[in-house]
Structure 1
Amino acid sequence: MTTPFIRDSCFGRLIYYFSNHKYFHHKEESSDYIIPEKYYANEYKAEKDNIENNIIQSDSKGTFQLKPDGSSGSKSDYENQMKEDEILVTWDDENDPDNPQNWSRAYKIIYVSQISLLTGIVYVALTIYTPGIGDLQKEYKNTNQIVALLPVTIYACGSAVGPLFFAPLSENAAVGRVYVYLITWFIFVILQIPTALVENFAGLCILRFLGGFFASPCLANGGATILEVIRLHDLPLGLSVWSLGAIPGLGPLIGSGLIVGMNYRFTFWFLCFFSGFLFIIMFFTLPETYERTLLLRRAIRLRAITGNQRIVSKGEIENKVMTISEKAKEFLIAKPLEIVICEPTLLLINVCTFLANSVQCLFFGSITIYFQLNRGFTTAELGGCWISAIVGVVFANCIYSPYMTKHFTKPVSQHQLVFADTLIPVAIVGSCMIPLGLIIFGWTACKQLHWFPPLIGIAVYAGGLFLVLQTLYDYLGASFKVDYMASVFASNNLFRSAAAGGMPLLGNMLFNNLSTENFPVAWGASVLAFISIGLISIPVFLWHHSSKLRTKSKYANC
């Protein structure tokens, strides 16, 4: 028997099947494994009592929820499908090594790092070619700057739509997470080749949409899979590592270095080779983490070993209960849209995310306008300006990490009751930093002053943005049940990507129409600052009212 980390990867599963279970086999298939007596039992009473203890009676409509996994449905439907003598597969005990939450710290670090790197490439791919917009305009004549940004918008639209399909698909026990990751990522890698070679602008836009669509699963599943691996008290740390892949300005920074001496097409070759290398690593070392999928596979093995066909898993029961039309609705974006419509807390967070990302996309356009068009910075020098955003995130993390350790990680690890609302004050601080950074940048970005003060504004803004978004991700992770987490993050990604898709096209118009001779971006930045001040009201509202909203939710951990 080998470690679950390799055994449950795509490579391990292939070797397992083609060797007829000789290699990378599971503990149930070892000669020294003692199969729990319950899987041979003739009576189902103990298992039935265990399930009933986990059922939460709800309203007069007769619906119910299972505590551990958040699955829900009609009680009568469940009982009709679950026969009296069926035996439910569970983890052997709380230290079961097949449970991803029992992996060693080293394995967890490797796993979370892979998901973070995967997410980082998706965000880098969004804007990586933008420092070479001038080359694109020369190649495609009669293409102005707004049109040249269309591939950014198209890519963002693809990444917005993709998780609405892939997140519900990965939440089906028969599919799981890892195959969705690998198959879609392989297609993304291959798509970079024609993207780098395409000779017409329409073809470039189509390929960028497909690239965003197939790259997108990690934008929703990433948070969900990390929460399947880490314990609750490590939630802020795990999600912060995941979100580091979305550091503002990383795409233009990398693109600036690649385009010097090359052209914008080289950025797509870079994406192809780098993402292809990551695919190879994931093929060997990215394991399955979805509990229902792992337990479904265990149920299949136990049935084969014991000959007891009464052994079933929760995932199998759920698939039996669902009709074909219900499964189709589940796969066709129904769950993420249903959750966001039915959950006012999630809707508020998504609106906050949309506004924050809209301001970000508009603001980042002003950096190019000031430093390159007004101060004459080269492409390489412009890329260096984005380092200030990274510095701002690092300093913001110096606020974020100690607060989360004191108010969340330590109390939860000591089994104290901690509500998700505890996280919100950090978002309030961050939402105040955003307009402050915008004002500093806008009114110091003039030819009369040195070019350094605007970089301070960028750093303050990026730090505030990090605090807001990171805290809201943590809030989602702490508020909603793990089995719905992929759909929760898919709905959030829809709002984020919608902002990233539409706003870059408006940025130049905003700043150019409001520019003055001495202050080219001041009034445009001020407009964004005024919008951002309104953003503060959302985390303040959540601070006072979110607990009441969660108590009425069937998806939330109250």
Structure 2
Amino acid sequence: MPVPDLIRESFVGQLIYNFSGKRYFQYAEERPGFVCPRRFDPARRASWTGPDSEAATLSEKKPIPEQKQKEGEKDKNRVSVAEREEGATDTQDPRSRSSSDPERGIAVSDEKPDPNLVDWYGPDDPEHPMNWSLRKRCFVTFNLCLLTFSIYIGSAIYAPGIEDVAQKFGVSDVAATLGLTMFVVGYGVGPMFLSPLSEIPQFGRTNVYILSLLVFVVLQVPTALCKNLGALIPLRFLAGFAGSPPLATGGASLADMWAPEDRAVSIGLWGLAAVCGPVLGPLLGGFATQAEGWTWTIWILLWLSGASLVYLCVFLPETSSQTILHRRAVRLRRLTGNHALRTQAEIDAAHMTMGEVAQMTLIRPFVLCVSEPIVLFWNLYIALVYGIIYIFIASFNVVFIEGHGFNLGENGLAFMGLFVGALVTYAGFVPYAVLHLKPMFKNGIENFIPEERLPVAWVGSIFLPISLFWFGWTAAPSIPWIVPIIGSGFFTIGAFLLFQAGLNYLSDCYPRYVASVLAGNDFFRSMVGAAFPLFSTAFFHNLGVGQACSVLGGIAVAMLPIPFFLYKYGARIRSWSKYAD
């Protein structure tokens, strides 16, 4: 039964495929007329002598022209676990990988490849995510943005209901704020345990996303029905924990589909979706709390995430190359009866000990954070930005509700300044990425200098303190409310550019350990973001909005030299590291 590949690779598509006994949603290998590559078929392998004859088998009607021999890749079976554990080769463009098809200009090794190693059929293999059509990749990118937004909004949508929670449960506002902070702690801790599951070929990214989202949706029901704070806080933590995988692994899913020269635009859009969660959450939560109380912030979150779950079950395909190849290997083993067929990921997994797995998932993110100056500096910087995002939530209550007399719904509308700032920044960033960053890859990714990611961070580092000083010193009730809202818009300009530059820079500096670096960054910034709301209201009341924002602005000024320093000395620092490439 021919179906679109996108649906067949989705969670529902795989359920139908497996429960129907492989009769529905079949793959090319299972349809009549498929010719199995010669090296995988024991009955025909005797006539296979190496890459050239394999290419002839796959494309017998085309004469194979002479191809200049290129330097081959190192034998894949000798690549260390440390080099492969982060999925660095998983997201490679198939056009840069070793293949047996010299007609397409792919590097050919002098050594005969392992005949039992299941890889791509050629550089244009349609199952490789980087070979998907532009329309399909854009559609899947939108789906990942929707998934991220549906989780991220769960933190800030609760914020307008904090005072109502305090009144109904008879606790202080600080205690009620724990419902916000524990959610953030949950999605900071969760990736350390759940995200590594997406790197296991038998699981894949989509199954982890969908199953964790299902748990997230279910947890909203008892959360909305809570009658005391003792039940609310652990449920909010568990919800953040369960919803965490896409917040840390979404960037890896995009890297599965987009080549490095296009990645800045796609990850920028994903980052925009992440920013929209905390920004639009108070808008929806404010009107909901004002009309029906705090529980309706949770019911809205349930409807939004539940609708996303139903939609993504059908329209979010698997993007992990390791998982796609694993499924191919399973089909070829069944088709040929050759049970020795294995993917490189299966070979690597067979040689990994539990100690290596623990080091990869739990220990290495902290080691990199402490021992690598580049990682430490950016984690501190991004954590500051993240903390200020959440402290803004409290400052808006002080400025617009207490100072300008806004109600909860109107206070939520004040966050639109942050939203508009993010949209304008992304619209301006896209031409920069296309016209300036993309041409730098024309000589190959190996010649791209990671520090070229940092000039946009220069702009962001300047806008950040400008926004804080502007907002703080125009927050007085005597000044029109639109003035501080405009100032807040400059904050998201700075935040977006710093996130965009920082996360891409870390990924480029540590391609073999990108999962560990980004998981550590997510944990670090989430811990800081969770702590800030606990003292933010007292901070603004005791110092005053102007002085409090000046303190934050002063810290931002002190950290402003970081991107300039790393642009000048980053390459030298990387040369001292045993982790950086």
Same fold? TM cut 0.5: yes
Which of 116, 139, 157 is the aligned partner of 1:128?
A: 157
1:260 is paired with a residue of what secondary structure? helix
**Equivalent residue number for residue 34 of structure 1:** 35
Using the TM superposition, give the Cα deviation of residue 486 of structure 1 relative to its aligned residue in structure 2, in angstroms: 3.5
1:44/1:84 contact within 8 Å kept: no
Q: Is 2:347 aligned against 1:317?
A: yes
**Equivalent residue number for residue 299 of structure 1:** 329
Stretches of structure 2 that go unaligned for 5 or more consecutive residues are 52-68, 91-111
User: What's the C-alpha RMSD, in Å, of the aligned pairs?
Assistant: 2.9
**Equivalent residue number for residue 247 of structure 2:** 219
Using the TM superposition, give the Cα deviation of residue 384 of structure 1 relative to its aligned residue in structure 2, in angstroms: 1.2
Using the TM superposition, give the Cα deviation of residue 217 of structure 1 relative to its aligned residue in structure 2, in angstroms: 0.4
2:202/2:323 contact within 8 Å kept: yes
**Equivalent residue number for residue 206 of structure 1:** 234
- Give 1:167-178 correspondences, 5 Å limit: 167-178=195-206
**Equivalent residue number for residue 439 of structure 1:** 469
TM-score by length of 1: 0.89
Using the TM superposition, give the Cα deviation of residue 413 of structure 1 relative to its aligned residue in structure 2, in angstroms: 5.7
Q: Is 2:83 aligned against 1:54?
A: no
Distance in 2 separating the partners of 1:552 and 1:12: 48
Using the TM superposition, give the Cα deviation of residue 58 of structure 1 relative to its aligned residue in structure 2, in angstroms: 12
1:121/1:275 contact within 8 Å kept: yes
**Equivalent residue number for residue 80 of structure 1:** none
**Equivalent residue number for residue 512 of structure 1:** 541
1:220/1:487 contact within 8 Å kept: no
**Equivalent residue number for residue 434 of structure 2:** 405
- Give 1:69-84 correspondences, 5 Å limit: 70=88
Which of 416, 420, 424 is the aligned partner of 2:454?
A: 424
Distance in 2 separating the partners of 1:550 and 1:100: 31
**Equivalent residue number for residue 533 of structure 1:** 557
Q: 1:204 to 1:51 in 2, by over 3 A?
A: farther
Deviations 1:313-371 (A, max 9, x none): 0111011101244345555x234334434543233222211122123323332121111
Which of 542, 546, 549 is the aligned partner of 2:570?
A: 546
Using the TM superposition, give the Cα deviation of residue 414 of structure 1 relative to its aligned residue in structure 2, in angstroms: 7.3
- Give 1:272-351 correspondences, 5 Å limit: 272-327=302-357, 329-330=359-360, 333-341=362-370, 343-351=372-380
Distance in 1 separating the partners of 2:449 and 2:339: 42
Q: 1:381 to 1:15 in 2, by over 3 A?
A: same
2:85/2:360 contact within 8 Å kept: no
Deviations 1:38-61 (A, max 9, x none): 2233599958x99973359999xx
2:472/2:547 contact within 8 Å kept: yes
Using the TM superposition, give the Cα deviation of residue 514 of structure 1 relative to its aligned residue in structure 2, in angstroms: 1.0
Distance in 2 separating the partners of 1:55 and 1:359: 48
TM-score by length of 2: 0.86
Which of 109, 113, 125 is the aligned partner of 2:142?
A: 113
Deviations 1:72-109 (A, max 9, x none): 9xxxxxxxxxx996621111112111111111222212
Which of 152, 168, 172 is the aligned partner of 1:139?
A: 168
Q: Is 2:483 aligned against 1:453?
A: yes
Distance in 2 separating the partners of 1:29 and 1:57: 29
Using the TM superposition, give the Cα deviation of residue 213 of structure 1 relative to its aligned residue in structure 2, in angstroms: 0.2
Using the TM superposition, give the Cα deviation of residue 187 of structure 1 relative to its aligned residue in structure 2, in angstroms: 0.4
Distance in 1 separating the partners of 2:161 and 2:81: 56
Q: Number of aligned pairs?
A: 536
Q: Is 2:186 aligned against 1:158?
A: yes
Q: 1:56 to 1:177 in 2, by over 3 A?
A: closer
Q: 1:341 to 1:528 in 2, by over 3 A?
A: closer
1:54/1:66 contact within 8 Å kept: no
**Equivalent residue number for residue 6 of structure 2:** 5
Distance in 1 separating the partners of 2:569 and 2:50: 41
Using the TM superposition, give the Cα deviation of residue 402 of structure 1 relative to its aligned residue in structure 2, in angstroms: 2.3
**Equivalent residue number for residue 17 of structure 1:** 18
Using the TM superposition, give the Cα deviation of residue 69 of structure 1 relative to its aligned residue in structure 2, in angstroms: 5.1
Q: Is 2:289 aligned against 1:259?
A: yes
1:447 is paired with a residue of what secondary structure? coil
Stretches of structure 1 that go unaligned for 5 or more consecutive residues are 73-82, 516-520
Q: Is 2:511 aligned against 1:491?
A: no
Q: 1:342 to 1:229 in 2, by over 3 A?
A: farther
2:38/2:48 contact within 8 Å kept: no
Using the TM superposition, give the Cα deviation of residue 426 of structure 1 relative to its aligned residue in structure 2, in angstroms: 0.6
Distance in 2 separating the partners of 1:468 and 1:85: 45
Amino acid at match of 2:199: E
Q: 1:174 to 1:555 in 2, by over 3 A?
A: farther
Distance in 1 separating the partners of 2:322 and 2:551: 48
Q: Is 2:208 aligned against 1:180?
A: yes
- The farther-off stretch of 383-392 and 467-476 is 467-476
Using the TM superposition, give the Cα deviation of residue 233 of structure 1 relative to its aligned residue in structure 2, in angstroms: 1.8
Distance in 1 separating the partners of 2:148 and 2:262: 19
Q: 1:64 to 1:266 in 2, by over 3 A?
A: closer
Amino acid at match of 1:205: I
- Give 1:387-406 correspondences, 5 Å limit: 387-406=416-435
- The farther-off stretch of 321-330 and 454-463 is 321-330
Distance in 1 separating the partners of 2:231 and 2:39: 59
Distance in 1 separating the partners of 2:133 and 2:575: 35
- Percent of aligned pairs with the same amino acid: 33
1:437/1:461 contact within 8 Å kept: yes
Amino acid at match of 1:35: C
2:291 is paired with a residue of what secondary structure? coil
Q: 1:232 to 1:465 in 2, by over 3 A?
A: same
Distance in 2 separating the partners of 1:178 and 1:67: 19
